[in-house]
Amino acid sequence: MPQAVHIPSSSQAPIYPSLGRQLQSLLEGERDWVTNAANFCALLYQALPDLNWAGIYILRGNDLVLGPFQGKPACVRIPVAPVARGVCGVAASERRTVVVKDVHSFPGHIACDSASNSEIVVPLIKHGVLWGVLDLDSPVPARFDDADAAGLEELAATFLAMTDIPR
């Protein structure tokens, strides 16, 4: 079984190709979405520095519903429509990655953990259909940047390609 390699905080964007190889190895031979989502979140939580939450929300009707995650208990249901709430709701409704350097200044932010100060949310889209979002939180302000967005989008694409998503 592959072991997640913890990346020190001083590292930059080059960590993502290594995480991509680890993710491919971890998911190889398994297509179940729950299993793969759980391992994907665990890999990110263990390998990326300065995270206090890593998880997936699954689109069910007009809401994002909590899926596999690592970290403290989280918000169970986040509205996407008719009005999107929080960073996850905005990323889902706009179908784009959202990087928030200071969650306390984000209109409509949902504070599941008061220790979180920054957040990144990547929409999970397979065959043109929004399936859910990947959500990472950090206690460090401005923890996420464009390099994280690009790297996480690549990892999400690998997860989706190697996973059977129910519809």
Which residue segments constitute the domains of the chain, with CATH numbers given? 15-161 (3.30.450.40)
pTM for this entry: 0.91
Residue pLDDT tens, the chain, 167 long: 444 444 444 445 789 999 999 999 999 999 999 999 999 999 999 999 999 999 999 999 999 999 999 999 999 999 998 888 899 999 999 999 999 999 999 987 787 778 899 999 999 999 999 999 999 999 999 999 999 999 999 999 999 999 999 87
32-38: Cβ within 8 A, 24+ apart: 32/163, 32/164, 33/163, 33/164, 33/165, 33/166, 34/67, 34/68, 36/159, 36/162, 36/163, 37/67, 37/68, 37/159, 37/163, 38/68
